Structure 1
Amino acid sequence: MGWISKLIDSVSERGKEIWQQESHDRHALPNSLADDCRELLTRQGDAVALAIAKDILRRYQRSSNNDKLVFFQFLQGLEPDFNQISKLSQSYAENSSTESYQSLCSTLNSGRKALFELLNIPGEGTASLVSLREDLLKSMRTHPELKVVDIDLQSTLQSWFNRGFLEFKSISWETPAYILEKLIEYEAVHEIRDWDELKRRLEDDRGCFAFFHPALPGEPLIFVQVAYTKGISGDVAPFLDKNTPLEASAAADTAIFYSISNCQKGLKGISFGNFLIKQVVQEILKQRPEIHQFSTLSPMPALSIALEKGHIGEDILETLAGKKGHVLKERYGVDTFTELLTDKARALQSDDEQTAGWLEDVGFYYLTQVKKGQEPYDPVARFHLSNGAAIYRINPFANLKPHGLKSSAGLMVNYIYELSKLEINHEHFKQDGTIATHKHHNRKNKIKRIEHAGK
């Protein structure tokens, strides 16, 4: 895209000269970002429009947080003419003419949506708007009324970052260092502390795959890390330890997706993971025909939140513990199971079968019975189950790092991607919220008995 950028810069420079001359002739210069935006929306010529757009992006990037908030509030008021939309809708309903439909679409896409399109100039516009949305999301924490601006900006970015524009790449130790640095920076699930740890995650028994976009060269949008193992692993520690011996490639029959990281905060809510996992599966099938099982080793990041908010009541935890629940409480010196799973999760003993069995039941109940609307409360569960995966196994003591204990009492879950069942699982999940569980999982009937007892 180098020559295109040079051409755009050339046109923009000429447009800047014309714009400056016009401004001089009017004896007035725009004095705010809002003024520049209004000017841009009136322009017909490409050269001057490019110059104004570049100036808006440059000035925005140099603005203070307060000035950025003022700009977002301007965008909030930059809405299409709803009265005109109403009239055009009525006109199209009455005559269904091409002209009235075209006018309606044009009016609907006016205002800030039109502005975002004009600011998407080659070479810098897309990256600048992704950064702008990151700022907008921060401002929305204290100014939720800005959500209307985000709805339009997210919709616009969604169209620019559709699957057809994404570039799929396999990452290795030979990948340029500036991209490898991004993996260390953006890893969101299991921290990469140094280059040695990164190198181990890129050895022959590991894999890493990412999506890129032409408008953000060198910036991964999302990446997934894979371990090739014998059987479905339930312990993440060996994948993170740089001293773990290499797995013999001949012995491996399973690909474990153990970390998926979204990299661009400004693209929050725009999903790439479902496309990435499916493409990774196809790539592995081509590169490593000995692999015939595809599974994840996933966190349950909202389990502690669900417990703290009372979405899993103490009565349910008692029922899951069964007749020996009092023994567990005495063993760990707690008054409630909620306390044990949150504040005292570090005390849980991995060599105790009763504790392990109870934790498995808690994890399974959480994933299948605690809902947000029709879908699971857990965001990672929603993602994988929506993709057509099934719950394979709950793994207690699978992540004993501080974050794993704090967020989910050390629990992790294997979701299995059975290629022949993905579509039917996906359809059932979307239609009525049915959660697929693999036949390997043997706790489904116990949960049904608990549900029945609570009615």
Structure 2
Amino acid sequence: MRQTSVINDLLSTITDNRLFGERRKPRRTSRRDLAQLIESLLNGRGESSSLERAAEFLRAYRDLDSAGRTFVFRTLAADYGPEPERLAEAAEAYLDKPSGVTAKALQRAAEPRRVEIFRRLNQVQGGTQALVAMRCELIDRLSNHPDLATVDDDLKRLFAAWFNRGFLMLREISWQTSAAVLEKIIRYEAVHAITDWNDLRRRIDVPDRRLFGFFHPRLGDEPLIFVEVALTTEIPRAIGPILSGEREPIDPQSATTAVFYSISNCQDGLRGISFGSFLIKQVATDLANELPNLKNFVTLSPVPGFAKWLSEETARPTSAVDEATRTLLRALEDGWVNNTAQAKAAEAAFVPLTAHYLLEAKDHGRPRDPVARFHLGNGARLEQINFAGDVSPRGLASAYGMMVNYRYVLSEVEKNHEAFVNEGRIAVAPAVSKLARSVKVAERAPAGGPAQLPPPTRTDTREVDEPPRDTVTESTEAPTA
């Protein structure tokens, strides 16, 4: 529902009636007419005729039904790649006489013709928004139409250039920001839902709460990504006190910690284009300049894949989940987090298993957890594991309530990022590393016999935690990310 709404909103922002006319109901256009309309996009030579044809296409696309839009994508994939004969001639010329001239000709010949179509559409008022909405629909079709992946690759490369950091505008969003933007913040919040306008006001209209977002000049009031920040006097362990409507605000000048507790990407059509790392680092730098007492920049992050991993791990014959934890999982009932005995047993089991999951569970050599991949790849340090950090139904279902803190030490972010990307090393606090080492991967015990433990999976032998100011990087098997 959200995706469809976003697409319709983006397309409806194309409001230049001189070019687009009034919005109409979806219509069925013959495939021949659609094919001719697509081909016409490459025929206009003058700037005016090119804009008119692009506007005509976007108007027609906006009015198509789902089948018509699928036909457009499939036509772009099948008929608008590189021209084979031209590409072969350019390749032969380069191989025969390598030079800058023949290399440039080969590069031009290798570019799919649809890329020029996208460039021309982007020149029209509202064209960038329309292309973002089109890619949103394209992504939705990829599972059933894998042949469309080439079109998606081309759009993604163009968006990476059009939405690079140099074009992004950082804005602080306050209660004085336009209602149009605030309504979008409520709609796009993807981590901790904003229930109503009063809830939003508690997050942005008090002195110890901030919200920042990236915007792009061609998307107007459409945010690309935003981050919610709480100013506190300590590193938090739970989201409840941060979101509470009963809490007492503090003086920002007394805050020592900036907590990034919710980061939401807003445009599904820009999936795969990274904004978050720039946003967090920029906001941390700006807050450090504004509030010199801030010493810690941390997240309070969910662990969205933990429950699923734990279920899979429990079923494996060689597993990090011991029999006591299996018994506990079978015994947990609704409301277990409020049952003192069950909560105590769950904390003892889930805290080290969360550390193990974040450091050892891999997907193609990278941390399996998507939030961990994001923050560790940005150069943050895995700082703290928090039991019962999010006891909402969603938090319990996805992670048994577990949350973690990732810490951004501004002077070490780049070093940690390079170590993660180039060597697969994860920056991790010693206490978390110790928790992970306490988990033993073992064969499940056969009937009547004990489990056999293999050697420990990590080689770090420190027994005493170093001070948290010292970032320690632990070697992992992750290849270059």
Q: TM-score, normalised by structure 2?
A: 0.81
Cα distance in 1 between the residues matched to 2:267 and 2:339: 37
SS in 2 for 1:261: strand
| Aligned CA distance change for structure 1 residues 105 and 449 (closer, same or farther; 3 Å) | same
Conserved 8 A contact 1:312-1:366: no
Q: Deviations along 1:139-184, whole A, 9 cap, x unmatched? A: 1132222111111111111111111111111111111111111100
| Aligned CA distance change for structure 1 residues 30 and 36 (closer, same or farther; 3 Å) | farther
1:189-204 map, 5 Å = 189-202=191-204, 203-204=206-207
Deviation at 1:34, TM superposition (A): 2.1
SS in 2 for 1:233: coil
SS in 2 for 1:201: helix
Q: Deviations along 1:302-339, whole A, 9 cap, x unmatched? A: 222323444884753444x7xxx27x836x753xxxxx
Conserved 8 A contact 1:205-1:246: yes
1:10-159 map, 5 Å = 32-77=33-78, 78-159=80-161
Deviation at 1:133, TM superposition (A): 0.6
Q: Which residue of 1 aligns with 2:8?
A: none
Cα distance in 2 between the residues matched to 1:235 and 1:421: 26
2:374 to 378, 383, 391: 383
Cα distance in 2 between the residues matched to 1:295 and 1:140: 36
1:393 to 380, 384, 388: 384
Q: Which residue of 2 aligns with 1:222?
A: 225
| Aligned CA distance change for structure 1 residues 346 and 209 (closer, same or farther; 3 Å) | same
1:347 to 331, 336, 360: 336
Cα distance in 2 between the residues matched to 1:448 and 1:302: 18
Conserved 8 A contact 1:392-1:437: yes
Which amino acid letter does the alignment assign opposite residue 215 of structure 1?
R
Conserved 8 A contact 1:345-1:409: no
1:329 maps onto 2:312 in alignment: no
Which amino acid letter does the alignment assign opposite residue 281 of structure 2?
K
After TM superposition, the structure 1 stretch with the greater mean CA deviation from structure 2, 397-406 or 306-315, is: 306-315
Cα distance in 1 between the residues matched to 2:317 and 2:238: 28
Q: Which residue of 1 aligns with 2:474?
A: none
SS in 2 for 1:41: coil
After TM superposition, the structure 1 stretch with the greater mean CA deviation from structure 2, 371-380 or 434-443, is: 434-443
Q: Which residue of 2 aligns with 1:23?
A: none
Q: Which residue of 2 aligns with 1:430?
A: 421
| Aligned CA distance change for structure 1 residues 31 and 47 (closer, same or farther; 3 Å) | farther
Which amino acid letter does the alignment assign opposite residue 166 of structure 2?
G
Q: Which residue of 1 aligns with 2:168?
A: 166
Q: Deviations along 1:431-450, whole A, 9 cap, x unmatched? A: 23211112343634634765
Cα distance in 1 between the residues matched to 2:367 and 2:433: 20
Cα distance in 1 between the residues matched to 2:454 and 2:233: 40
1:249 to 252, 274, 287: 252
Which amino acid letter does the alignment assign opposite residue 208 of structure 2?
D
Cα distance in 2 between the residues matched to 1:421 and 1:314: 40
Structure 2: state its 5+ residue gaps.
1-15, 22-29, 443-451, 456-481
Cα distance in 2 between the residues matched to 1:350 and 1:436: 35
After TM superposition, the structure 1 stretch with the greater mean CA deviation from structure 2, 280-289 or 432-441, is: 432-441
Structure number with the higher helix fraction is 1
1:284 maps onto 2:273 in alignment: no
Which amino acid letter does the alignment assign opposite residue 139 of structure 1?
R
After TM superposition, the structure 1 stretch with the greater mean CA deviation from structure 2, 398-407 or 78-87, is: 78-87
1:371 maps onto 2:362 in alignment: yes
After TM superposition, the structure 1 stretch with the greater mean CA deviation from structure 2, 374-383 or 438-447, is: 438-447
Cα distance in 1 between the residues matched to 2:164 and 2:339: 44
Q: Deviations along 1:380-436, whole A, 9 cap, x unmatched? A: 100100011111111111001111111111111100111222122111111232111
Which amino acid letter does the alignment assign opposite residue 388 of structure 1?
G
User: How many pairs were matched up?
Assistant: 419
Conserved 8 A contact 2:301-2:405: yes
Cα distance in 1 between the residues matched to 2:256 and 2:218: 37
Identity %, equivalent residues? 36
Conserved 8 A contact 1:172-1:207: yes
Which amino acid letter does the alignment assign opposite residue 54 of structure 1?
A
Q: Which residue of 2 aligns with 1:4?
A: none
| Aligned CA distance change for structure 1 residues 87 and 167 (closer, same or farther; 3 Å) | same
| Aligned CA distance change for structure 1 residues 333 and 39 (closer, same or farther; 3 Å) | closer
Conserved 8 A contact 1:225-1:259: yes
Conserved 8 A contact 2:174-2:210: yes
2:398 to 396, 407, 410: 407
Cα distance in 1 between the residues matched to 2:142 and 2:311: 25
Q: TM-score, normalised by structure 1?
A: 0.86
SS in 1 for 2:371: helix
Q: Deviations along 1:109-141, whole A, 9 cap, x unmatched? A: 241111111111242110000000111111113
CA-atom RMSD in angstroms: 2.6
Conserved 8 A contact 1:132-1:266: yes
Deviation at 1:349, TM superposition (A): 4.7
| Aligned CA distance change for structure 1 residues 207 and 88 (closer, same or farther; 3 Å) | same
Cα distance in 1 between the residues matched to 2:272 and 2:334: 31
SS in 2 for 1:441: helix
SS in 2 for 1:129: helix
Which amino acid letter does the alignment assign opposite residue 362 of structure 1?
L
Which amino acid letter does the alignment assign opposite residue 48 of structure 1?
S
Cα distance in 1 between the residues matched to 2:370 and 2:138: 22
Conserved 8 A contact 1:201-1:239: no
Which amino acid letter does the alignment assign opposite residue 106 of structure 2?
L
